[in-house]
């Protein structure tokens, strides 16, 4: 079974530029999560999808961040414009819906904003 796929793995951009991250969850997983992981910290949830619906985006900075999950499968997280403080690892995870189901994490995208 293929795991959660993320691309790109690394991205370096200059501040004020836009950037997008892509995630393909495990087949059949209804729930998709985007997490932000700062250096030396645990992941923090940005947004959670149930199928194509964003059911928890309370931690997403909506002035510059946006996300979509068209057709309830792949998802894209976008930052526009990027700021220096956005340098971090962006993790995508997926799970089956309901209960204490395990979240499977992708390898993440490491973003560096110069």
Q: Is 16 in the site for other proteins (CB under 8 A)?
A: no
Select from 24, 48, 65, 82 the one that contacts other proteins (CB under 8 A): 48
Asked if 43 is part of the footprint of other proteins (rule: CB under 8 A), the reply reads yes
Contact set for other proteins, span 50-79 (CB under 8 A): 56
Instruction: Produce one character per residue of 67-104: b if its CB has 16 or more CB atoms within 10 Å, e if not.
Output: bebeeeeebebebeebeeebbbbbbbbbbeeeeeeebb
What is the rounded CA–CA span in Å between residue 56 and residue 50?
A: 9
Binding site for other proteins (CB under 8 A): 4, 9, 31, 33, 40-45, 48, 56, 91, 93, 95, 97-108, 110
């Amino acid at each position: 079974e293929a795991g959660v796929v993320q691309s790109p793995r690394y991205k370096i951009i200059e501040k004020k530029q836009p950037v997008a991250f892509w995630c393909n969850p495990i087949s059949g997983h209804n729930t998709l999560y985007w997490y932000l992981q700062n250096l030396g910290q645990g992941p923090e949830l940005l947004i959670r999808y149930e199928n194509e619906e964003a059911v928890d985006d309370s931690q997403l900075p909506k002035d510059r961040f946006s996300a979509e999950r068209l057709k309830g499968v792949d998802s894209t997280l976008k930052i526009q414009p990027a700021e220096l403080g956005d340098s971090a690892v962006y993790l995508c995870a997926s799970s089956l819906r309901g209960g204490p189901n395990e979240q499977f994490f992708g390898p993440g995208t490491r973003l560096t904003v110069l």
